[in-house]
Structure 1
Amino acid sequence: MHHPRIVDVIIPAYNEEQSIPKVIADIPSLVRHIVVANNNSSDRTAEVAKAAGAEVVFEPQKGYGKACLAAMDWIKSQSVQPDIVVFLDGDYSDYPVEMRLLLAPIQEGKAEMVIGSRALGQRESGSMTVPQVFGNWLATTMMKYMQGAKFTDLGPFRAIVWRDLLRLNMVDQNYGWTIEMQLKAHKAGLRYLEVPVKYRKRIGVSKVSGTVKGVFGAGYKIILTIFRYW
């Protein structure tokens, strides 16, 4: 059985100069490329990420999905493609050292996609707002009853087989990115698992949960995406 060994990491980042060096420093040494997608930051995110050892790509148009797609394009341009890609946020709310927990089921041939579930793991008090917790519950409940997709979280910390990710033909350019991946993976028949992960308060202010506009914008897009793929 083939065991994937080449692992690349994608980190979409917008104004994360304080946190991004910590994220990069905690990523296990088994990773080949750490690709930071600088999403039109107005601070020194790009400079500090590069100094910390990451590859930096630029996406001038804001959007979580846009940043992820830009990083994927960079990976596609490499002569040797990865076996697995890991996504995580650049705000240091995830624990990069737990990456091995996500990779193990894929490397053991048990899954093609693994989601790091904050709902199943330990969350630091205040790390997720009430709207975030409710939104995750609502979205995963809708996914379960409308499509039979069994998830507990839409967490950004996830690992997926690269060739399968390419097959999903990801298109969302903003808040719907994570749920699009999960719904498409379910519809495509990919084997997926969730593993409990720890979650802490982010460094800085969230671009989504930190504003009323962000909370409602993300919620609207997530629900719209569920109906789109129903």
Structure 2
Amino acid sequence: MTGAAVDVVLPCLDEVGALPWVLSRLPEGYRAIVVDNGSTDGSAEVAAGLGAVVVREERRGFGAAAHAGLLAATAEYVAFCDCDGSLDPAQLPGLLGPVIAGSADLVLGARRPQRGSWPLHARIANVVLARRLRRLTGERITDLGPMRAARRVGLLSLDLQDRRSGYPLEMFLKAHRDGWRIRELPVPYAPRTGKSKVTGTLRGTVTAVRDMSAQLKAAAAALAPGPVRPGRGSEGTP
């Protein structure tokens, strides 16, 4: 692929220590969109100096940052990745492959943790959530990790509204509702650089669970039998 074939949205809050490595790992043709969510450590300036497109989102929240990046994207394909060093952007072509080939509409990176990368309380919460999602949707999902890939037009058609921790779950649920072909592929998950703001703390995990519970409650009604809306991941795909 030549040019910016893929825009990579990287929500960022005080990640100056990890940014150089993360941005250096982007494959050729992948453009970094670093969404600064109120950093005070110079992350935005470092990202800009390393050639990334920097978008500033003043409203705090993972969903707010992720969606601001999606709105700023212009490439046909969009990927999402944390920029704390826990996920390797070099893995993104593997996730994009099925989307580009037309065999999947949304590909999720299922985290395979290395030692010390995933606190026990966060791992337990993830197992419980994945089990509930399998029962609710029938999708074979084991993880709702932040690394994922799809077509930009399709993502915009989902009309995502959550601006906090429920954003990744809302994306999954609405993609399922609209009949998207969802696939999961394993990606390595390393210890992050610096201090976690969400699942690395008990308080952050509780907040994430609360946000996702609201999405699950809404999905129970949305997934009731009814007509399937058009709007898979590709333009013109029924």
Q: Does TM, normalized by the shorter one, top 0.5?
A: yes
**1:202 equivalent in alignment to 2:154:** no
Q: Which residue of 2 aligns with 1:78?
A: none
Q: Deviations over 1:174-199 (max 9, x none)?
A: 10011111111111101111111101
Distance in 1, matches of 2:148 and 2:44, equals 23
SS of equivalent to 1:114 = strand
- Do the aligned residues in 1 keep the contact of 2:35 with 2:55 (CA within 8 Å)? yes
The equivalent of 2:55 in structure 1 is 57
Amino acid at match of 1:169: D
SS of residue matched to 1:53 = coil
Deviations 1:43-70 (A, max 9, x none): 1100110111100010112100101121
- Contact kept in structure 2, 1:139 and 1:223, CA below 8 Å: no
Q: 2:64 maps to which residue?
A: 66
Is the Cα contact below 8 Å between 1:137 and 1:153 reproduced in 2? Answer: yes
Could you say what secondary structure the match of 1:229 adopts?
Answer: helix
Q: Which moved more, 1:190-199 or 1:210-219?
A: 210-219
Q: Is the 8 A contact 2:95 2:108 kept in 1?
A: yes
TM-fit CA distance, 1:207:
0.1
Residue in 1 aligned with 2:219? 229
Q: Structure 2 regions of 5+ residues with no counterpart?
A: 221-238
CA distance in 2, matches of 1:95, 1:73: 23
Distance 1:28 1:18 in 2: 20
Classify the secondary structure of the residue corresponding to 2:131. Answer: helix
Segments of 5+ residues of structure 1 without an aligned counterpart are 76-80
Q: Which amino acid aligns with 1:13?
A: C
CA distance in 1, matches of 2:147, 2:66: 13
* Structure 2 residue matching 1:160: 3-state secondary structure: strand
Q: What is the CA–CA distance in structure 1 between the aligned matches of 2:63 and 2:134, rounded to whole Å?
A: 23
Corresponding residue pairs, total:
217
Q: In 2, are the aligned partners of 1:38 and 1:58 still within 8 Å (CA)?
A: yes
Does structure 2 conserve the Cα–Cα contact (< 8 Å) formed by 1:34 and 1:54?
Answer: yes
Deviations 1:110-149 (A, max 9, x none): 101100101xx3x211101111111111111111112323
1:166 paired to 2:166: no
Q: Percent identity?
A: 35
Q: TM-score, normalised by structure 1?
A: 0.91
| The one of 145, 157, 171 aligned to 2:147 | 157
**TM-score, normalised relative to structure 2:** 0.88
Query: Which residue type is aligned with residue 30 of structure 1?
Result: G
Aligned-pair Cα RMSD in Å: 1.2
Indicate if the aligned counterparts of 1:91 and 1:203 stay in contact, CA closer than 8 A: yes
Structure 2 CA distance, aligned partners of 1:112 and 1:209?
A: 27
Higher mean C-alpha deviation, range 147-156 or range 195-204: 147-156
What SS class does the counterpart of residue 189 from structure 2 fall into? coil
Question: CA offset at residue 21 of structure 1?
Answer: 1.4
How far the C-alpha of 1:13 sits from its partner, in A, is: 0.3
The answer as to whether partners of 2:160 and 2:171 remain within 8 angstroms in 1 is: yes
Question: Counterpart in 1 of 2:19?
Answer: 20
Shift of residue 220, structure 1, vs aligned partner: 1.5
Q: Which residue of 2 aligns with 1:88?
A: 81
1:9 partner amino acid = V
Look up the match of 1:126.
116
Distance (whole Å) between structure 2 residues aligned to residue 69 and residue 196 of structure 1: 24
Which residue does 1:102 correspond to in 2? 95
Q: Residues of 2 paired with 1:150 and 1:179: CA distance?
A: 15
- Equivalent-residue separation in structure 1 for 2:91 and 2:21 (angstroms): 14
In 2: Cα distance, 1:202 partner to 1:8 partner? 22
